[in-house]
Structures are given as C-alpha cells and as structure tokens.
Amino acid sequence: MPEKFKCGVDFVDITRVKGLINNTTSEVLEGIFSLEELNYAGKSMNRYGRLAARLAAKEACLKLFPLETAIASIDLSDFSVKNDAYGAPHISLSRRANILLDLYGFEQISISLSHTKEHAMAMAVAARKEFKVPLIGQLINWLLPIKRKLARNIPE
C-alpha cells in the first residue's frame, strides 16, 4: 500500500541564487521563476532570500516526482509559489504537474519556506486522496482467504 504522504525537501545557498540572478538573462530567469515570483521578490533587501526559498520549494516539489524529473517530463517551470491573502505561501501547478498529481493519486501539495541571510530551505508534502474500497472489493477481499485455503487442499 502506498504511503499516505510523500515529502520533498531542498536546501539552497542564497549566494548561489544571487549569482544566478545577477549573471543570467531575464529570459532564462523567466524559465525558472514566474513573473509573479520575480515581482514578489522585487528589489527589496530580501530579494535573493525570497527567490532562493522559492527555488528550494520548486526543487522540493520535483523530488515528489523523481521519475518524471529524471526523464525531464517536468521541470522548475511547472511549479510556481504564490502567497494567499495572509501572506502564506502555496504552490500553483502547471497542467503537466496537475496531471501527475492525479496520476499518483495526490490530492494536494503543501509547502513551507524559510530562509536566513545565507541559506533558504523548503519542504513540499503531497497528500494522497482518500479512497474508499467499493463494497464488491471488500467482499472479494473477505472471500480471498477462503479461496486460498480451498486451493491448497485440491489434489493434483
């Protein structure tokens, strides 16, 4: 039986992100961060920390789908970090990521972000959908041990 929760965690050096932002074209940055994420970070003193935390969140989300990440069927651009009215971060998924979410039976992905002056980290937790076994399935499962016992007693 698959586990009810799946977790991905990532830890990012803010200096690395600062170098990436300062030495990369805006077209490449827009492939990593959404315009909303770039606007949220703005030009504030916390800009690099905010973007590093968002990068860590995207990497943590990719860790929830290791096969698809390895074959490059999803990437950083499939995840976007947004803030609700209270400022709490949540993840927004692309169409491709939503399809994977359904395929794996996940209901949602929750994230948590944090950063210091030097490092940023994020955790992504995917929760599986509740699945109720139909009555016929319960009946088959209940009868299955009897069938196994009978099959063992049949002479060859």
Q: Residue 38: enclosing H or E segment and its boundaries?
A: helix 35-41
User: Do the beta carbons of residue 104 and residue 93 sit within 8 Å?
Assistant: no
User: Do the beta carbons of residue 90 and residue 61 sit within 8 Å?
Assistant: no
5-130 has which fold? Ribosomal Protein L22; Chain A (3.90.470)
pLDDT confidence of residue 149: 54
The pairing of beta strand 106-115 with beta strand 119-128: antiparallel
What is the maximum span of the chain, computed from C-alpha positions, in angstroms? 80
pLDDT confidence of residue 58: 97
Residue 73 tokens, joined: 């069927």
pLDDT confidence of residue 98: 95
pLDDT confidence of residue 121: 97
**Total-model pTM:** 0.80
pLDDT confidence of residue 10: 97
Annotate 41-63 with DSSP letters as a single string. Answer: HTTSTTHHHHHHHHHHHHHHHHT
pLDDT confidence of residue 133: 74
Number of H helices, E strands in the chain: 7, 5
pLDDT confidence of residue 148: 54
Average pLDDT across each block of 10 residues of the chain; the chain has 156 residues. List them in order. Answer: 86 94 88 90 87 96 94 94 93 95 93 95 93 78 63 54
